Amino acid sequence: MAQEIREFRVSNDAIDEPAELQRRIADEGYLFFRRMQDPDKMRELRRLMMTRIQEAGWLLPDTDPVDGIADVSKQCTEGHQAYTAGYGHVYKLEAFHRAAHWPEVTTMIDKIMGRPSMPHPQQIARIWFPQYTEHTTPIHQDFVHFQGNFETLTSWAPIGDCPIELGGLAVIPGSHKVGRVLDHHFSLGAGGLSVNVEGAEEFDPTWYSTDYEAGDTLIFPALTIHGALPNETDDKLRLSLDNRYLAVGDLIADHMLDPHGPSGLNWEQVYEDWESDQYKYYWKDVDNPVVAFDSTYRDRGFAEALELARAGHEQALYRLRRTISSDPDSEDAQSAREVLAEIGAPA
């Protein structure tokens, strides 16, 4: 990612002008709002989620969980068994799922889409350790992971303040105008796929981000190129909401009707301690055509990892070993074992 990072355009001035919001996102490929979500609600959500994260052992035990002081020795990320155990504990939290339905978010999404919308059932929390920069979310387009339709919107918000050094999200304005999914390649980090933007000719590969504060919200469509900045703090855990919304009646991919995979949970397990039924299976009352998940992007990335591992690529070798550890009975794990055996590397 380029070193120079420019400041987002703030769109609070157009917050009550749907036509202008639609024009801006069509032109720039993102909308950024200061304190669009209630900062006090976000801080309370942080307290609840960080408490569960501390219970999972990822924060130092004698610290205030709100401060997010990480136990760096517990570093893990999506794809690790240790991550699934801790993330599942957080993912069951009813308040986390309710946040996707906060009216300040859903009302804004409706304005931008110009139609009634709904959140994807698969809501996502991102939990990133410090001093773990090789696992930073790579540069990508969301469509390769979430699919459905290009008009799907991502709403990303830090759960608490998130200065640049803590690793907020950055986007390339106008990159969505390519109008297609670009070639993605193997990478570490969430999703395991990245796109190369160096020397791009179809858009200006200049990055935009900001020092986020609690309540700030970034919204962008499925083709906008984006990625996380590295968490360069010594000991702070970065926590964020990473949810998707689609217009009622638009296509949704079948895997987005399930809990987020790294949680290791089904819906009955997610719901077992909820006090309310309000948002349980809410999507079943909405008529959205469901399409099958297209594994082509994921399969290509893993095939690249296999080939890179044969050449001794350290990150690819790490990926193969992680696949074996996290899902030992899968076809991918079998392929990984075969490659490691072929080159005489330990599994």
DSSP string for residues in 34-60: TT-S-HHHHHHHHHHHHHHHHHTT-B-
Between the CA of residue 291 and those of 194, 252, 255, 262, 294, what are the distances in Å? 24, 6, 9, 22, 9
Q: What is the mean pLDDT of the chain?
A: 96
| Section 15-37 average pLDDT | 98
What integer pLDDT is reported at residue 80 of this predicted model?
87
What integer pLDDT is reported at residue 201 of this predicted model?
86
pLDDT band at 1, cuts 50/70/90? low
pLDDT band at 55, cuts 50/70/90? very high
What integer pLDDT is reported at residue 199 of this predicted model?
82
CA distance 69 to 197: 34
What integer pLDDT is reported at residue 91 of this predicted model?
98
pLDDT band at 3, cuts 50/70/90? low
What confidence tens digit (pLDDT) does each residue in 219-252 have? 999 999 999 999 999 999 999 999 999 999 999 9
pLDDT band at 198, cuts 50/70/90? confident
Topology (CATH) of 5-291: Jelly Rolls (2.60.120)
What integer pLDDT is reported at residue 144 of this predicted model?
97
What confidence tens digit (pLDDT) does each residue in 92-144 have? 999 999 999 999 999 999 999 999 999 999 999 999 999 999 999 999 999 99
- Which residue shows structure tokens 């801006």? 24
Please answer whether residues 57 and 237 qualify as being in contact, where contact means their C-beta atoms are separated by less than 8 angstroms.
Answer: no
H or E segment at 106? helix 103-113
What integer pLDDT is reported at residue 69 of this predicted model?
98
What integer pLDDT is reported at residue 248 of this predicted model?
97
Please tell me which residue, 1 or 172, carries the higher pLDDT value: 172
What confidence tens digit (pLDDT) does each residue in 323-343 have? 999 889 999 999 999 999 999
| Section 80-87 average pLDDT | 92
Domain with CATH 2.60.120.620 in the chain: 5-291
What integer pLDDT is reported at residue 81 of this predicted model?
87
User: In whole angstroms, how large is the CA radius of gyration of the chain?
Assistant: 20
What is the percent of the chain with per-residue pLDDT over 90, rounded to a whole number? 94
DSSP string for residues in 180-229: SPPP-EE-SSTTSEE---TT-SSS---EEE--B-TT-EEEEETT--EEEP
